[in-house]
Structure 1
Amino acid sequence: MASRKTVKTASKPAKNTYATPALEKGLDVIELLAHHPGALSKSDISRHLNRTVSEIFRMLVCLEKRGYIAQTDGDRYALTLKLFSLVQEHPPTERLITEALPVIHRVTQQMDQSCHIGIIEGAQVTILAQVNAPTPVGFYVKLGSTVDLMEAASGYVILAHLGDEELERTLTEWKSTTGKKVPEDLKKHLSRIRRQGHETQPSYLVRGVVNISCPIFDERASAIGALTVPYIQYNESKIGLAEGSKILKQACLEITHAIGGRLPVN
């Protein structure tokens, strides 16, 4: 019995032995900048993190040297796209992109429209992969760009196909980050998307564009991302919105199966 007690007490200090306050400060800076819509000065960062400027100065120098942050507007700091680049190299994300790109290329050829994959990161949708339309003119969303998840058809589609706990966590983070209230009709909106299996919605940001968006599911039957076509009407469009929705649903089904995902049971 005595030896058992010794083992238990020895395991407690081990946690403190591996404490890494410098790393924690650096991660605090990254998370703060990720959740803040604009660049922040050293004094802004120190105030938000409740630390002195001298405490975070070395963190800023190191993060800037490693390419995670950059100075903008003088002495203000913002995140670079390095984290996005690393996310793309992460095996699950890399597999999603690898399996999806051939399908996306086929969709663009079938519809003469651009197509992209978006995932939810925090309070935003991030564009992971994108293919332009095979036409002289068209509309597309930039690779790596982000948009408020409540201003993107893909954001609503993903939300509509999350489990209750994950949905609640996502909405809580969105409210905390943006300071906004959840739309009053959100529950009804998400229910409609689930019934349809997709979203067809005029763009929240651009006139004349109708977003068609469908979910891609992981092995838990939870939405891991959404495939979206920002549809524009040509004078001689060969594919309409209804047929385009069917094409996109089939594409998402193929990608879901390719990554080992499964469809939710209704």
Structure 2
Amino acid sequence: MTVENAARVRAKKATTVKYSVPAFEHGLDLLELLLASPVSLSQTAIANQTGRPISSVFRLLNCLEQRRYVQRDVDTGNYGPTMRLYQLAQACPAHQRFRDLAMAPMQDLARKVGESCHLSIREGNQLRVVYNQPSPHMHSLNVSENATYSLVRTTAGKLLLAHLPSDRRERLLESLPEFREYSSREQETLRADLEELGLKKITAVPSQVTPGVLDVDLLLENAWLGDHAVLAVPCIQKYSKSEQKTNLLPTIEAAAEHIVAALKEA
């Protein structure tokens, strides 16, 4: 939802609300804007996009910075959300509900393929693991819940980037320090890879992070608070191409369908 659309929705609701708290509503507008933005924003940009006077924006930012909900970049002076906001989200029922709904299909998937599996989301400019289901077997790969990884150096991160609208993806790429460190040729190669990956919902490729591991990642569309998530299964490379096609990938796809169906019914 764009800022303009959000403003219209709030205006419509305001006609039926007997009491309002303008200062609190303005603070929520600001937080929603910062959370939705792929890059940090200046006071002027925030004022322009929220329609608030810059003096009001300054006071709100100062309050939120003192409470550690936003932070100011010392180099640019721009503002972005802190992990304190995400810690609040970890405790909210929506996050726990997401885990609860995904748990049974992921436990079944781990049992059937003999590998761990995990769910990841894009959180700002990084990839975050929000749930990991260990394998029932002793020898398997696991990732820690709440661990964060690079968007451009992980298969799951690339899959999420690839399915962003092209303009949002480009703005996000330009904001990533890892991307800016790439040469021009490497940047163009990544852009081409993302365009190709945007045509796929599932991919199975050797891991760039862990040698000898096959990364299988499947996009779950609009699964996490209106955004995409990724169901990932890191496998020790023991599956032939034929076994991947006839057994591994269909099993993962079936688990993803069960997760999506559970989310729709919730």
TM more than 0.5: yes
User: Structure 2 stretches of 5 or more lacking a match?
Assistant: 1-21, 27-51
Q: In the alignment, which of 123, 126, 130 is matched to residue 124 of structure 1?
A: 126
Contact 1:218/1:256 (8 A) holds in 2: no
Q: Distance in 2 between matches of 1:91 and 1:164?
A: 32
1:25 is matched with: 65
Q: Distance in 1 between matches of 2:190 and 2:261?
A: 29
How many residues are aligned here? 204
Report Cα offsets for 1:212-258 as digits up to 9, x if no partner. Answer: 000011179x7511000011145x99x94332222222222332233
Q: Distance in 2 between matches of 1:169 and 1:203?
A: 26
1:138 is matched with: 140
Amino acid at match of 1:22: N
Q: Distance in 1 between matches of 2:98 and 2:175?
A: 25
Q: Distance in 2 between matches of 1:240 and 1:144?
A: 31
SS state at 2:264 partner: coil
The more displaced of 16-25 and 157-166 is 16-25
1:180 is matched with: 181
Deviation at 1:101, TM superposition (A): 1.6
1:115 is matched with: 117
Amino acid at match of 2:169: L
Q: Does 1:256 align with 2:260?
A: yes
Superposition TM-score, scaled by structure 1 size: 0.63
Amino acid at match of 1:225: A
Amino acid at match of 2:150: D
Q: Does 1:241 align with 2:226?
A: no
Asked which structure has the greater CA Rg, the reply is 1
| Residue 189 to residue 21, structure 1, CA distance change in 2 (3 Å) | closer
| Residue 25 to residue 31, structure 1, CA distance change in 2 (3 Å) | closer
| Residue 200 to residue 260, structure 1, CA distance change in 2 (3 Å) | same
Q: Distance in 1 between matches of 2:124 and 2:138?
A: 35
Deviation at 1:27, TM superposition (A): 6.6
| Residue 168 to residue 94, structure 1, CA distance change in 2 (3 Å) | farther
Q: Does 1:203 align with 2:243?
A: no
2:229 is matched with: 225
Amino acid at match of 1:180: E
Give % identity.
20
User: Structure 1 stretches of 5 or more lacking a match?
Assistant: 1-11, 33-44, 51-78, 262-266
Contact 2:204/2:215 (8 A) holds in 1: yes
Q: Distance in 2 between matches of 1:123 and 1:199?
A: 22
5 Å matches for 1:27-46? 30-31=70-71
Deviation at 1:188, TM superposition (A): 3.1
1:215 is matched with: 219
Q: CA RMSD in A?
A: 3.6
Contact 1:218/1:259 (8 A) holds in 2: no
Q: Distance in 1 between matches of 2:243 and 2:85?
A: 37
Superposition TM-score, scaled by structure 2 size: 0.63
Deviation at 1:91, TM superposition (A): 4.6
Amino acid at match of 1:152: T
Q: Distance in 2 between matches of 1:138 and 1:86?
A: 31
Q: Distance in 2 between matches of 1:223 and 1:240?
A: 31
Amino acid at match of 2:142: Y
The more displaced of 191-200 and 132-141 is 191-200
Amino acid at match of 2:219: P
Deviation at 1:48, TM superposition (A): 4.0
